[in-house]
Structure 1
Amino acid sequence: MVATDFSDVAVAQLRRSAQARGVSARVQPIVHDLRQPLPVKTGSIDGAFAHMALCMALSTSEIHAVVAEVGRVLRPGGKFIYTVRHTGDAHYGAGQAHGDDIFECAGFAVHFFRRELVARLATGWVLEEVHDFEEGELPRRLWRGTVTKPA
């Protein structure tokens, strides 16, 4: 399994956690900026998961590029499951607006997703599911999207 994160601190934490659980030989953590090509061969993976990675301070065009890059590395029939905060979230519209549905609170910028963006991201994929759920104490409002790369 290849695991990426923008933060070297998070990657180091993942390495320690994998080692403590005895699975470090099966986990390859990499510090990686999602705006760059993934260090994975085309069509070489079965699935990808991104928990709130797409709702970082990325423009809509950068998000489309990330999803296209995931499509590049997935095998036909591969699944991409992602979670994103959406415009029904209590923090949507709070803090400093940066445009493109990006708002910054306490120094942390979040790109909130409209349902239309989720639909546009599924163009060229098979959209399996969009599930609304809550997480955390606020609670955060998120969608979990599941798309499949066509065979």
Structure 2
Amino acid sequence: MTGPVRRPRRRRGEEGETLVEVLVAVVLIGVAFVAILGGMGTAIISSAKQQQVTGADAVIRSAAEKVVSAPYVSCARGYETPTPPTGYTVAVEIEYWDGVGAFGRSCPTADTGVQKVTLTVRSTGPRPVRDATLEVVKRESMLS
């Protein structure tokens, strides 16, 4: 009859981790690394989008300042805007007050002296963000 099997005692200096413990540690480090890498990727993408939005805002405000400071042109076909930086385009659309209560795309026979200028800035980069739009109302100066 044999008795219970006894494991030999480890000698001093032979203590260590088992293979399972090492594998669990490697898996945990891998999961943490993937989470950190994913967070950094999200931060980079979100930062780039915010930079595009801020750039579009600066471009549209600059264009609006130029339109506001330009003299009123009766039945204008367009107003000059600053050249946008690379990656942005500016579109100008003009509507004319009909004198009754609405803006229309065609200039009335007698210009009423009020125009609505709509500025639209588009980002043309690899990941374009939504368009920025700003409306400016121009009035003919009554001062002579």
**TM (normalized to structure 2)?**
0.25
Structure (1 or 2) with the greater strand fraction: 1
**TM (normalized to structure 1)?**
0.24
